[in-house]
Structure 1
Amino acid sequence: MQAHARDWRLDQRCANTASGVVGEFVAHSIATAGTADSGSSHVGEPARSGLIAVRLLLMARSLVIQVWDNHESAPTSLSESPFQADIEDWGYDLPRPGRRVVWCVITRQNRGIDDTVRLSPVLPRRERKRYPEPRVLINPLRDIRLLQRVLDGLRSLDRSAEKETNTDHLRRAG
């Protein structure tokens, strides 16, 4: 986590909060996994083997932390967390059965770097490109037999549409 904080130029408060929140979310995922039945060879072995994935998303003004696990229950509240004051928002989602993502948003300081995008008041206009004329003229394909087959196919479509229309009228009238 500290390497990402350095690479992403996060302020110390944001880095400490993110590290603590990731620790809490992962500890909660492990604690709610349960233990195996009494016949298991290892004491405290997780009942369900699963993957816990941590995802960090750096936004313009915030850091989003997501912890994915294989639970289907709501996580406990963050109200007793020492990091609650620094967390802007948090929640959870159940994207599909057997998967849960717990997330939070931490507001970050810019540390003097202006990362806003400024657009000019008038957008630049594109200029139309001039393409050179082709050296060799393309001759259109004039295969009479192919054109006749296409024309016959289109006419048969028209006839089948007329037949369907006529049978629909007869069914309604009868």
Structure 2
Amino acid sequence: MTGCAPEQPTAATAPPDSAPNVVPAAAAVRPGKDAKNATYMIDGEPVTLIDGVEEKTIVPGSASKQVTRLTEHAFEMDLNDDGQKDQVFLLTQDSGGSGTFYYAAAALKTPQGYQGTNAVFIGDRITVQYFKADPEQSSQFWISYGDRQVGEPTADDPMNMASKEFRWDGASLVEVAAAAATK
């Protein structure tokens, strides 16, 4: 039958966030009153914090939960150069196993509230040493942390020092080295 099938989206009519693995971080989430009550994108999935925590059932009917938390590692800076103090922080995510995954994220201050960004993966079971704004680069921040060598068991204490630097690229939070590698 002609005309009975629903119209399939084309590149011209598909919503901008319908492409696989492409999520405009700032446009995909609703603003919150502060960083503890905003929505962020982790691995392409929205995470809405309420008082700094989100608990999500992993498998329907199961007691296992994925818990995302805003950590005490946080500071304010003007990340997007708009003259407003944004909130920059680390999130952790636990899914009931032995891992605790760390992410860098931010909440951009807007007239409507705080707009959550995408979260950028840092590592599993790391030990945070320093988490600060970069004094030499406005709109950038960095983390120094203990991690493990490749092949080292994750049960071992993280003794290998590592660091990552992040910036706002106008649309999403990116790791500086990763952004430079794509150019």
Report the TM-score when normalising by structure 1: 0.24
Instruction: Please identify which structure carries the higher strand content.
Output: 2
Report the TM-score when normalising by structure 2: 0.23
